[in-house]
Amino acid sequence: DVKVTQSSRYLVKRTGEKVFLECVQDMDHENMFWYRQDPGLGLRLIYFSYDVKMKEKGDIPEGYSVSREKKERFSLILESASTNQTSMYLCASTTRTSGSSQFFGPGTRLTVL
């Protein structure tokens, strides 16, 4: 079974702090994704990566950056956390095959005070 793990299930940070969310997958998937999930808005894509050191902006990249130094690991960085970044963050991975299913981690619920 594919396993996608995220470093924290719950995280509380203060406004202005730098926040790192880590995601690791164990299936040698090329593509990895970061989403945020908010009530009534579904999942919105923040960034994705299709290879090591490669990244592309998603639909809502403002206020976020990412890092992919190893194939299995994809990090989401909030340079200066703000209260409007309080949300559920979901990581996913998949192969390069067109239309392939994405596999999700358990999510990190981030609260910024």
Partner 1 sequence: AQSVTQLGSHVSVSEGALVLLRCNYSSSVPPYLFWYVQYPNQGLQLLLKYTSAATLVKGINGFEAEFKKSETSFHLTKPSAHMSDAAEYFCAVYTGTASKLTFGTGTRLQVTL
| Owner of token pair 């005070």 | 113
- Of 20 and 50, the one with the shorter C-beta distance to partner 1 is 50
53 belongs to the binding site for partner 1 (CB under 8 A): no
DSSP 60-98: --TT-EEEEEETTEEEEEESS--GGG-EEEEEEEE-SST
What is the rounded CA–CA span in Å between residue 51 and residue 29? 9
DSSP 8-class letter at 97: S
Member of 41, 80, 82, 83 binding partner 1 (CB under 8 A): 41
Closest distance to partner 1 from the beta carbon of 20 (Å): 19
- Give yes or no for residue 94 binding partner 1 (CB under 8 A): yes
Position 43 contacts partner 1 (CB under 8 A): yes
Which residue reads 């923040």 in tokens? 46
Per CB under 8 A, residues contacting partner 1 are: 4, 9, 31, 33, 35, 40-43, 45, 48, 50, 56, 58, 90, 92, 94-107, 109
